[in-house]
Structure formats: C-alpha cells, structure tokens
Amino acid sequence: MAEPLRIAIAGLGTVGGGLVELLERRRAAFEAALGRDIVIAGVCARDRNKDRGFDLGDVPWFDDPVALARADGIDLFVELIGGSDGIAKASVEAALGAGRDVVTANKALLARHGTALAKAAEGAGVALGYEAAVAGGIPVIKAMREALVGNEITRVYGILNGTCNFILTKMQDEGGAFEDVLREAQALGYAEADPTFDIGGHDAAHKLALLTSLAFGTEVAFDAIDMQGIEAITSADIQAADELGYRIKLLGVAQRTDHGIEQRVHPAMVRKHSEIAEVSGVTNAVAIHGDAVGDLLLVGPGAGAGATASAVAGDIIDVARGWRLPPFVKPAAKLKPIETAAAATRQAAFYIRLAVHDRPGVMAAIASGMAQENVSLESIVQRQSNDASASAPDTPKTTAVVLITHRTGEAAVMAAVRRIADAGDIMTAPAQLIRIEEL
C-alpha cells in the first residue's frame, strides 16, 4: 500500500466537521479505491475548546492557519476558513508556496484572486481544487474541467444561490411577500442575519465568475459581472409570471456573444415545465451548453455540511490519485483577459411592470414611449394593483400595467422606460424589469 495522504484542515465549522466525519466513515472505502489512506495530520480553528461533537484524538492543533499550511508532514491543505482575503488567502498562498496541494471551498477567495492563485499552484506543480466552491455537492467543476474538454462551451448558467431560490420558491408556492419569506428563511437558517450577500446576488456572482473562466478560458473577472439581486421581486411579479407561464429564478448567466462575453446575475423568468423551473427550495442547478454534447443540466444541493464535504472529499481523492490539473483547464498564463459584451448589446424579451396613475391617457403614453424606442410589445395588460386595492378610498387611484416585449435590445427597453418616467405624472413608483430567459 502506498504512503498515506496527509491532509491539514483549516476551519472546523459545519463543513470542516462534515469532512472530518466523512473521512472517518469512508476510511475503508478509500483504502479499497485508492490503495492508500487519507489521514488528518493537522487542524486549525478559532476556538480549541469548543465541543464540535467529534473527537480528533491526538491530531496536532494549530492556532495559526499559515503555520499549519507550512507545517512539516503535510501533503495537502484544506482551506475552509472563508473570506476573500485575510488569513484564508494568506494560508492558501503559504501552502502553495510550500509546495502543498490545496483544496478549498472558498468562492470569494477564488472569485477575487483565482487567476493569481492558479498561477501559483501551477508554478509549484500542485493542485488547487475548488469543486466545493461552486454549487456545493454538484460535480460541475469536474464536469467542465475534465469530462467536457472535448466541447467548446458557448453558455453556462444556473441557479447558484440556495437562499434566493428558497425565497422565490416559497413566494411562488405560498404567496408571501419578500420580507416575510426572508424572515422565515432566516429563522430556518437558510439566510444569514445580514442577508445582503446572498439576496443581492454577490454569492451567485462569485460562483459565476469561476464558471465563466472554465467555460471560456478567460481570467477570473468578478468585477465584470453585471449584478442584480432579488430584493425588488414582489408577489405581484411572481403571480404575473405564473399567469404568463413562467417562474422567477435568480440566474447567473455567462455566454459568448458576437460582442464579447456576457456575465450577469439577475432575477429572470424561465418557462414553466422546463427542468430548471422545477428546481425548487435551496437546490442549485447548473446548465452547460457545449457544441458537441448539447445541453446538460446538473441539479443538486448547493450547500450544507454533507454536500460540501462530499465535494471537498472528491478533490482530495483526485490528489490522492496523483491527479493535478491547471485549475481553469488551460494553463493560467494562457487565460485571456475577458472581453465583456457591453450591456447595450444585450438582447432579450422583457417583462415590465409599471405602477401608474389610473386615469385616461396613461396607456397611450406608455405605448407611445415604447414605440418611440422601437420596442415592440407582445402584450400590454392593465392589472388591479395590490397598492391600489390597499389604499384608502380618497387617495388618487393607481394601477399596474404589465408589458411583455418581443426580443429586443435591453438598451432600447431601458430607454423606453426612462422616457415614460420622464414624461411626468405617469408612474407612481420605479419600474420593475425582469428579463425573460428563453434557454
């Protein structure tokens, strides 16, 4: 039997604990499949005295993850600390610098510093595994980095944030308002006390940045992502989508166009009865279009101790087999700077909900604004507004108008809405625009 693989684990929270348990539970299976043991040769966490519910025996304890990353007798460093900078980054750099393989679940770190860290890993001839950083337990990094190399990828998109999908699914199924459902998600532990990072789309964007690089061979470019969260989605939008035959999902989309690469995170309408429309709750999904394979969809848990530990373990096993790949398929030095498609070049059909005064001439003004920007409409429907029905009888009446455009330039739609807003005394609140994603 070969020498055991000696791993160090920095971070013993939910995922770290899940990993320790998985390694113990699957010891015999790993021996059978790999012909070698995987042993924990060092750990590090903030609080040494916390009861974590598992026994690490006499595994050496480190207070400093950088020291652990450089310690003798370590082959592979598992970073489960989190955060794009600070000790997470320092310890990963230290491990790579010391010639140790690295496995991490840290999407923020890679979204910010992925290209540089990939170069460091390749320079040291070691692995930088990050399966757990994107879509939790779904083996999408392995699929894109290995199985699909025969393909030119033209698009990758997905439901990349479980918190948002949980909230949107609940709003869909039970009709609640965004704020109420968010509070419920917080109570269940599916949303943080400060939920901005999830519901604002940042977390999904971190993951999308990595998928984009894998798909298109470009440097990781988190800042190039056009990002919009789900905060403004109302139950009126959810209901209108349902009636129109759609579901609203927060999507991360990266696609190659004639104008460059689009990277965007935003709520989108997807057609009911598609597989992705049925992805509900905290589940994640990633869809990949390759020129040879066609369309693939991978669905699974995007977070949680077990799912994340499963992905981390998969990366560790690859290293135990002696497998090391450039983190983004191509050598990092050959990744190209991203050429981002200007927002003005983007095309789509749009759902537009306008809160307007309920009086003569308003519909004509809306139709005229659209016409002046050459936006052609599939439908325009005046709807009973929730606001109107709730308002006191003596307040001026407002109503909602829902427009569905044909596929058109995003810029023209924006301009038309601005035109209507600027016409004065028509809209009573900012317009709601949701892209209809025909995938």
Q: Is 36 in the site for a second copy (CB under 8 A)?
A: no
Nearer to a second copy, 275 or 378 (CB): 275
Residue 140 and residue 214: Cα distance in Å, rounded?
10
User: Which residue of the set 170, 207, 334, 397 is catalytic?
Assistant: 207
Residue 374 and residue 376: Cα distance in Å, rounded?
6
Q: List the one residue from 277, 365, 377, 421 that touches a second copy (CB under 8 A).
A: 277
Q: Is 94 in the site for a second copy (CB under 8 A)?
A: no
Nearest C-alpha neighbor of 109 from the set 327, 303, 330, 264: 327
Q: Is 439 in the site for a second copy (CB under 8 A)?
A: no
Q: Is 330 a catalytic residue?
A: no
Q: Is 386 in the site for a second copy (CB under 8 A)?
A: no
Q: Is 26 in the site for a second copy (CB under 8 A)?
A: yes
Stretch that binds a second copy, among 19-27, 164-172, 227-235, 420-428 (CB under 8 A): 19-27
Element of type H or E holding 117: helix 107-124
Residue 232 and residue 204: Cα distance in Å, rounded?
17
Contact indicator for 349, 269 with CB cutoff of 8 Å: no
Residue 432 and residue 417: Cα distance in Å, rounded?
10
- String of contacts with a second copy for each residue 287-316, x by CB under 8 A: ---xxxxxxxxxxxx--x-xx-xxxxxx--
Q: Is 317 in the site for a second copy (CB under 8 A)?
A: yes
Element of type H or E holding 421: helix 410-422
Q: List the one residue from 85, 146, 174, 425 that touches a second copy (CB under 8 A).
A: 146
Rg (CA), the chain: 24
Q: Is 271 in the site for a second copy (CB under 8 A)?
A: no
Using alpha carbons, list the distances in angstroms from residue 405 to 9, 257, 351, 400. Answer: 52, 21, 7, 16
Contact indicator for 298, 162 with CB cutoff of 8 Å: no
Q: List the one residue from 189, 273, 389, 393 that touches a second copy (CB under 8 A).
A: 273
The residues that touch a second copy, with contacts defined as CB under 8 A, are 18, 22, 25-26, 29-30, 32-33, 131, 137-139, 142-143, 146-152, 217, 273-275, 277-279, 290-301, 304, 306-307, 309-314, 317-318, 321, 323, 325-326, 329-331, 334
- Enzyme catalytic residues: 207
